Amino acid sequence: MENFIVKHYGEVFFFTAPAAIFNIGSEELRVIKEFITRENIRGIYLVGETSCNFTKNVLDNTNHPGLPWETEIEKLKSVDDTLCSLTLKILKEQANRLRSESFFGKEIASGNILLHTLQTVKNENQIKEIE
């Protein structure tokens, strides 16, 4: 995923999580916030790839060992979901989490950090900004 994004956006810093599900504890969040402040980072991009194996497995109900991120995705899934619609739900859920007070709510609300959500389809070389 990193090479695909660098190809489209140039050199950027990555903080990755399986299926973009962030289960960040307070100490991890403190370190991340300090890094973002120190490096003067002004934009956070959430990226959801439609071919993500975790999303596929939850959607197809295959190879589903119940990992924490799969459990989170399962909560979002409905019977009518496609890879695209479920990826969008994951992105919206994570954007809402990042906007919360305990994450980056103040910084995003004040405009000090811009939050972007991107849905990618790597095999079609597509990136689409959401919201």
Task: Give the domains, in start order, of the chain with CATH numbers.
Answer: 2-130 (3.40.1050.10)
Report the run of H or E that residue 81 belongs to, with start and end.
none
Q: Which pair of tokens denotes residue 32? A: 């991340």
Q: How far apart are CA 20 and CA 81, in angstroms?
A: 18
pLDDT at 106 over 80: yes
Q: Which pair of tokens denotes residue 93? A: 């859920």
Q: In whole numbers, what is the pLDDT of the chain averaged over residues?
A: 83
pLDDT at 32 (0 to 100): 83
The string of pLDDT tens digits covering residues 3-13 is 888 888 777 77
Q: How far apart are CA 15 and CA 69, in angstroms?
A: 16
